[in-house]
Amino acid sequence: MRKSILLIVLLNLFYISNAQCWQSVSAGIYTTLGIKTDGTLWACGVNWNGQLGDGTTTDKNYFVQVGTDTNWKMVSAGQSHTLAIKMDGTLWAWGGNITWQLGDGTNIDKLIPIQIGTANDWKLISATAWSNLALKNNGTLWAWGFNSDYGQLGDGTLISKSVPTQIGVANDWAKISAGAGHSLGIKTNGTLWAWGNNIYGQFGNGNNSNSYVPTQVGTDTNWNTATQGQYHTLALKTNGTIYSSGTGYFGVLANGSTINLNLLTQIGNQNDWVSIGAGGHNSLAIKFDKTLWISGENIYGMIGDGTTIQRDVLTQVGNLTNWQFATTGAYHTIGLKTDGSLSRWGYNFYGEFGVGNNSISLIPISTACLTMGTVKNEIDKSFTIYPNPANSVLNIISNENEIENCTVVDLMGKVILHQKNNSTQINVQNLESGIYFVSVTINGITNFQKFIKE
């Protein structure tokens, strides 16, 4: 019996170490998709059109694996469809296809990933509501899907495309971001380009005229990243400053106002921003110190500050200093931390959190990341815990230096308790009976041990 229990624990430990460490994530309108460190692809949330890729149209409030492949490189979630690139450079798509957004030449939905064409030189992808942008290794720009309203594909027409179509002849594109109405791109020389809908001045070039082809925004050559929401643009320069333009609705421009701007204007005077993200009515940015800041719409607690109050300026999310990436879907926000753990907050009606329920949250809900080193750390201990099994209190003794923080997670990696600053004792009295893991950070290194709550 004891051997059986040990086997179950080790199997669960292996499952956690495979399942909870993420290398990249993408938020769709009501979905979350991510690639784990083992190269597997996972999805949760709404599944009306098969956008989860699991062969069904049933919503999932927990993460389901997309196939069995372990060579996924990049994923981008749209509204009803999903795009992904494998390590071999091939392009794959699945989900809704009514506007030819899958790029397979049809308008028939696909419930599992299908390869698009035979090319194996795809480098970057960006999916939006009904269309997509992509870059190849040779720096050429490609687009497909819906194009009838604003010319967001950039090919000079209002004709939708059912297969990937090259945009222009330039081969110096470096980065792209597809939006529902307008698209953005940065070239290798650091110039910023925009095309599609510009009714609110979201291009940031000083006017409100639409463009069916890429048009340069200003003359600056130090743009690093650009992204967009529904009607606004957020851009980051190489000197660490950020700029916004477009609609000021919901305070999305993060400048303390709700007035529209048709010229990219610096937000504040800080120059320590390192990455940006955007949702429909939100702007997100991460600083050099890895703190996360968000402005804009806050319905369902999308900003993660514990309220539903709209924020017209960038507002810090908690006090953590380990954020790596963040973005929003329609009403939910997901954040990836430097340790590979995933956080999410806001709307969760379709299970886009992937935590097994449909409850909203006004603050980030984190899933701990246990690495393969966990098994080794079960033997190679840097701290001692007792008693084990524990009934009311779990004591922790460091065999080295002061304990920086400790966290208790369940077998699914969900954070149950978290304590900071030389925590030597954890109250586990209110935990349900079962098996848990306690992680302890000492000298910046986190180790794990399992314990049993009686």
CATH number at residue 338: 2.130.10.30
Residue 239 has pLDDT above 70, yes or no: yes
> pLDDT category, 448, cuts 50, 70, 90?
confident
Residues 111 and 253 in one domain: yes
Q: Which of 367, 389, 412 is the last residue of a domain?
A: 367
pLDDT of residue 375: 35
pLDDT of residue 11: 36
Between residues 394 and 226, which one has the greater pLDDT? Answer: 226
Say if residues 212 and 159 touch (Cβ distance below 8 Å): no
Q: Is residue 3 part of a domain?
A: no
Residues 104 and 227 in one domain: yes
Residues 318 and 416 in one domain: no
Q: Is residue 387 part of a domain?
A: yes
Residue 86 has pLDDT above 60, yes or no: yes
Q: Which long-range contacts (CB under 8 A, 24 or more apart) does 242-247 make?
A: 242/266, 242/267, 242/273, 242/276, 242/285, 243/204, 243/267, 244/204, 244/283, 245/201, 245/202, 245/203, 245/204, 246/200, 246/201, 246/202, 246/204, 247/200, 247/202
pLDDT of residue 316: 98
Residue 259 has pLDDT above 90, yes or no: yes
> pLDDT category, 191, cuts 50, 70, 90?
very high
Residues 108 and 195 in one domain: yes
CATH of the domain at 404: 2.60.40.3080
- Containing domain of residue 175, as a range? 21-367
Residue 378 has pLDDT above 50, yes or no: no
Residue 193 has pLDDT above 80, yes or no: yes
> What is the total count of domains within the chain?
2
> pLDDT category, 44, cuts 50, 70, 90?
very high
Query: How many beta carbons lie within 10 A of that of residue 265, not counting itself?
Result: 12
User: pLDDT tens-digit profile of 7-35?
Assistant: 333 333 333 433 458 999 999 999 999 99
Say if residues 44 and 354 touch (Cβ distance below 8 Å): yes
Q: Is residue 43 part of a domain?
A: yes
> pLDDT category, 444, cuts 50, 70, 90?
low
Between the alpha carbon of residue 120 and those of residues 85, 136, 161, 163, the distances in Å are: 9, 9, 20, 15
Q: Is residue 2 part of a domain?
A: no
Residues 103 and 248 in one domain: yes
Mean pLDDT for the stretch of residues 318-330: 96
Q: Is residue 68 part of a domain?
A: yes
Residue in 333, 367, 335 with CA at minimum distance from that of residue 20:
367
User: pLDDT tens-digit profile of 380-393?
Assistant: 457 888 899 999 99
Rounded to 10 degrees, what is the CA torsion of 348, 352, 355, 357? Answer: 40
Rounded to 10 degrees, what is the CA torsion of 416, 421, 423, 428? Answer: -20
> pLDDT category, 412, cuts 50, 70, 90?
low
Residues 311 and 162 in one domain: yes
pLDDT of residue 15: 37
- 122-131, 177-186, 417-426: least confidently modelled range: 417-426
Residues 116 and 228 in one domain: yes
Mean per-residue pLDDT over the chain, rounded: 90
Residues 226 and 250 in one domain: yes
Q: Which of 300, 334, 367 is the last residue of a domain?
A: 367
pLDDT of residue 367: 80
> pLDDT category, 371, cuts 50, 70, 90?
low
Q: Is there a cis peptide before residue 113, judged by omega within 30 degrees of 0?
A: no
Secondary structure (H, E, C), the chain:
CHHHHHHHHHHHHHHHHHHCCEEEEEECCCEEEEEECCCCEEEEECCCCCCCCCCCCCCEEEEEECCCCCCEEEEEECCCEEEEEECCCCEEEEECCCCCCCCCCCCCCEEEEEECCCCCCEEEEEECCCEEEEEECCCCEEEEECCCCCCCCCCCCCCCEEEEEECCCCCCEEEEECCCCEEEEEECCCCEEEEECCCCCCCCECCCCCEEEEEECCCCCCEEEEEECCCEEEEEECCCCEEEEECCHHHCCCECCCCCEEEEEECCCCCCEEEEEEECCEEEEEECCCCEEEEECCHHHCCCCCCCCCEEEEEECCCCCCEEEEEECCCEEEEEECCCCEEEEECCCCCCCCECCCCCEEEEEEECCCCCHHHHHHHCCCEEEECCCECCEEEEEECCCCCCEEEEECCCCEEEEEEECCCCEEECCCCCCEEEEEEEEECCEEEEEEEEEC
Q: Is residue 14 part of a domain?
A: no
> pLDDT category, 180, cuts 50, 70, 90?
very high
pLDDT of residue 370: 61
Pairing mode, if any, of strands 361-367 and 342-346? antiparallel
Backbone angles phi, psi at 376, to 5 degrees: -65, -40
Residues 76 and 201 in one domain: yes
211: its two tokens: 């463009």
CA distance 254 to 181: 21
Percent over 90 (pLDDT), the chain = 76
- 308-312, 330-334, 416-420, 450-454: least confidently modelled range: 416-420
Q: Which of 336, 367, 398 is the last residue of a domain?
A: 367
Q: How many residues does the chain have?
A: 454
Q: Report the amino acid identity of residue 110.
A: K
Residues 262 and 147 in one domain: yes
Residue 314 has pLDDT above 80, yes or no: yes
Q: Is residue 202 part of a domain?
A: yes
Q: Is residue 15 part of a domain?
A: no
User: pLDDT tens-digit profile of 161-170?
Assistant: 999 999 999 9
Residues 238 and 168 in one domain: yes
User: pLDDT tens-digit profile of 101-114?
Assistant: 999 999 999 999 99
pTM of the model: 0.82
pLDDT of residue 424: 83
pLDDT of residue 2: 36
370: its two tokens: 């246990």
Residues 81 and 170 in one domain: yes
